Amino acid sequence: MQLETKLRPETKIAAIFPDEDSIPKEFQLPFPIHQTEYLINGELRHWEGPKQEAFSSIFVETADGLVPKLIGSFPLLTEKESLAALDAAVVAYDKGRGHWPTMSVGGRIEHIQDFTYRMKEKKQEVVNLLMWEIGKSFPDSEKEFDRTIAYIEDTIDALKNLDRTNSRFVIEQGIIGQIRRAPLGVTLCLGPANYPLNETFTTLIPALIMGNTVVLKPPRPGVILYRPLLEAFRDAFPEGVVNTVYGNGREVTPPLMSSGKVDALAFIGSSRAASSLKKLHPRPHRLRSILGLEAKNPGIILPDADLDLAIKECILGTLSYNGQRCTALKILFVHHHVVDIFLERFSEAIANLKFGMPWEKSVMVTPLPELDKPKYFTELVEDANHYGARVVNEGGGTVNQTFFYPAVLYPVTSQMRVYREEQFGPVIPVVPFDDIAVPIQYICDSDYGQQVSIFGRDTDTIANLVDPLVNQVSRVNLNSQCQRGPDTFPFTGRKDSAEGTLSVVDALRAFSIRTLVAAKATEINKAMLTTIVREHKSNFLSTDFIL
């Protein structure tokens, strides 16, 4: 019998990237997509100016050595085109008088359904591009697409529900009123590179369905996967309702904000970028911001934790999509009594994780979409080493181009950068503690307040932790990793982690404002309202019940 010898991670990492021939046929990129089109006012315009090449996080072995795979290119638009996109959205909104914002809810739902139908036809193309652009595993890329479709469908159902509740008049203190939610105006949607499709759509779709018009700037990386959807945007929506902008964010985004014509900013990214964008608006009180920002979610492993479960959840929490999730567990506090065994078994679990190319079956750790990221992670590791921590797992921190093998750092202290910085990747700091006050104080002092995970079994201890922690973060997870879903649950954060709440239902509120028509219940008013409703003279004053 031949004994299987396990390769050291370093050996496999050195040869991690494929040559063209070993990429399975079904995942090959047919040809680079050199995109020249951008969507403004219902028209796909052609760009003759400079373009930005888009490279994959995946390198390919060639006769000249390793080179990043070229996915294609996209237009580097300028301030002029960006402002043209904004103007198209402003005209389509027409200060609330446009066709889209005054359309019936049922009418807008039909447009979104039409878009969804067209989008589903592009699934294969979009998923493959998603995998190539950001190195997300194929099943996770597929999941991102399917979750987005489910989000759209759930949003339609939620709006129908909302509309059914609002399809009635109320009479209070002799006043008749009909209360509904109305759009805010022009929305600027800026999504993140880690969920370029899903998270962008969790703001885009509610913004649209509530009657706002949109300027959409897809994230970089993540631009090319929007190319297959451009015709669907053009054909499913009236002109000017969806407009796209590409290019250098620092060039094309600030003019939009400083124009004062953006009414809602939907941004998923860093708090620093969000603050500088918000500050550009000349009338900040007119701007509604819906922001998903950074986080440093801790996992707390108590001495009585079920370690099998804690390790399983901490692996998912720290390393799903290489730890590049805002909800990832970004620091682990482990009680002294169990820290040695935890580290041993956690390192073992990492050693058993499959790493490689995103199309490989059961792969968990894949190349990173930003070329400079491994350098940053190496700096974090070196800094932690300098202050006395070491990498405790075999091969941890090994780099090959865009690939960085997960590094577990122990013991991490407050002197180290990784203690506070949001690493957003596969570096896992572990802090030992004796007194639960240590992680609690960490959370209180943190600039972030998104979520926490607690692993333990003693009901008194857990209950005593829950009550203060719910006032520090926006979700306390018990014996479970941090996560956004289910998408019907409220997703938000405190401090520098978010502004506004997203969920299927909350997002409808976030992108709209309550507005009402009211009239004293006189005979004349009653007769007038009855006629308007009976003869379907208004989309707002209506008792139509959407089924």
Task: Identify whether the C-beta of residue 510 lies closer than 8 Å to the C-beta of residue 158.
Answer: no
Task: Identify whether the C-beta of residue 234 lies closer than 8 Å to the C-beta of residue 39.
Answer: yes
Alpha-carbon distance of 224 to 38, in angstroms, equals 11
CB 47 to ligand G3H: min, Å: 30
* Segment interacting with ligand G3H, rule: CB under 6 A, options 46-54, 55-63, 118-126, 477-485: 477-485
Alpha-carbon distance of 82 to 382, in angstroms, equals 42
Residue 82 or 194: which CB sits closer to ligand G3H? 194
Residue 483 or 512: which CB sits closer to ligand G3H? 483
Alpha-carbon distance of 360 to 363, in angstroms, equals 6
Residue 237 or 424: which CB sits closer to ligand G3H? 424
Residue 289 or 347: which CB sits closer to ligand G3H? 289
Which distant-in-sequence residues (6+ apart) come within 8 Å of 294 by Cβ? 270, 271, 326, 422, 424, 448, 496, 497
Binding-site member from 483, 492, 497, 542 for ligand G3H (CB under 6 A): 483
Distances (CA, A) of 164 to 153, 161, 177, 530, 532: 17, 5, 15, 18, 18
* Segment interacting with ligand G3H, rule: CB under 6 A, options 93-101, 311-319, 359-367, 482-490: 482-490
Alpha-carbon distance of 474 to 350, in angstroms, equals 29
Residue 219 or 367: which CB sits closer to ligand G3H? 219
Task: Identify whether the C-beta of residue 493 lies closer than 8 Å to the C-beta of residue 474.
Answer: yes
Task: Identify whether the C-beta of residue 499 lies closer than 8 Å to the C-beta of residue 291.
Answer: yes
CB 332 to ligand G3H: min, Å: 17
* Segment interacting with ligand G3H, rule: CB under 6 A, options 95-103, 194-202, 281-289, 397-405: 194-202
SS3 track for 341-403: HHHHHHHHHHHCCCECCCCCCCCCECCCCCCCHHHHHHHHHHHHHHCCCEECCCCCCCEECCE
Pairing state between β 186-190 and 264-268: parallel
SS3 track for 61-101: EECCEEEEEEEEEEECCCHHHHHHHHHHHHHHHHHHCCHHH
Size of interface with ligand G3H, in residues (CB under 6 A): 9
* Segment interacting with ligand G3H, rule: CB under 6 A, options 95-103, 136-144, 159-167, 191-199: 191-199
CB 483 to ligand G3H: min, Å: 4
Binding-site member from 224, 426, 484, 508 for ligand G3H (CB under 6 A): 484
Amino acid, res. 324: Q
Matching residue, tokens 């046929």: 25
Residue 402 or 483: which CB sits closer to ligand G3H? 483
CB 474 to ligand G3H: min, Å: 12
- Helix 336-351 vs helix 307-319: angle between axes, to the nearest 10 degrees? 60
**DSSP H/E element including 161:** helix 138-166
CB 96 to ligand G3H: min, Å: 31
Residue 243 or 366: which CB sits closer to ligand G3H? 366
Amino acid, res. 177: G
Residue 236 or 505: which CB sits closer to ligand G3H? 505
CB 292 to ligand G3H: min, Å: 6
485: contact with ligand G3H by CB under 6 A:
yes
Binding-site member from 87, 140, 163, 199 for ligand G3H (CB under 6 A): 199
What mask of x and - would describe binding to ligand G3H in positions 94 to 133, judged by CB under 6 A? ----------------------------------------
CB 535 to ligand G3H: min, Å: 46
Which distant-in-sequence residues (6+ apart) come within 8 Å of 161 by Cβ? none
CB 150 to ligand G3H: min, Å: 12
Closest C-alpha to 190, from 260, 116, 274: 274
Residue 7 or 478: which CB sits closer to ligand G3H? 478
Binding-site member from 100, 151, 195, 267 for ligand G3H (CB under 6 A): 195
Residue 169 or 511: which CB sits closer to ligand G3H? 511
What mask of x and - would describe binding to ligand G3H in positions 309 to 348, judged by CB under 6 A? ----------------xxx---------------------
CB 455 to ligand G3H: min, Å: 18
CB 205 to ligand G3H: min, Å: 15
Please report, as ranges, the residues that interact with ligand G3H according to CB under 6 A.
194-195, 199, 325-327, 483-485
